[in-house]
Amino acid sequence: METEPWGVGDQPRFLNQVVEAEWGGTPRALLRAAKAVEREGGRRPTRRWGPRVIDVDILLFGDQRVRERDLVIPHPRISEREFVLEPLAELGVKPVERW
């Protein structure tokens, strides 16, 4: 789904996708794997919410809740993003309420 930029408007539209997957490890291990995918995909540090080649977010992790400095699950802005809610609904996944 292609959407308008979120957070900072002076950049190209975003291409978004929600993927449901099974993971046998911990949320922390999944975060490490997601960051590795971003690096391998060419992501480099830039301004917050600025243009980037790839951005992998962990939206949900089953019914688990995590609240750490660099990892919050469910994603703290999940309910603000229609481009996330719509695909989740298509997958039959109902996002849980925030903290």
Q: Which are the catalytic amino acids?
A: 43, 52, 55, 57
- The answer to whether 38 touches 56, Cβ cutoff 8 Å, is yes
Question: Token pair for residue 36?
Answer: 């590795």
- The answer to whether 51 touches 12, Cβ cutoff 8 Å, is yes
SS3 35: helix
Strand partners, 61: 63
Query: CA-to-CA distance for 35 and 71, rounded, in angstroms?
Result: 12
User: Which DSSP symbol is given to 72?
Assistant: E
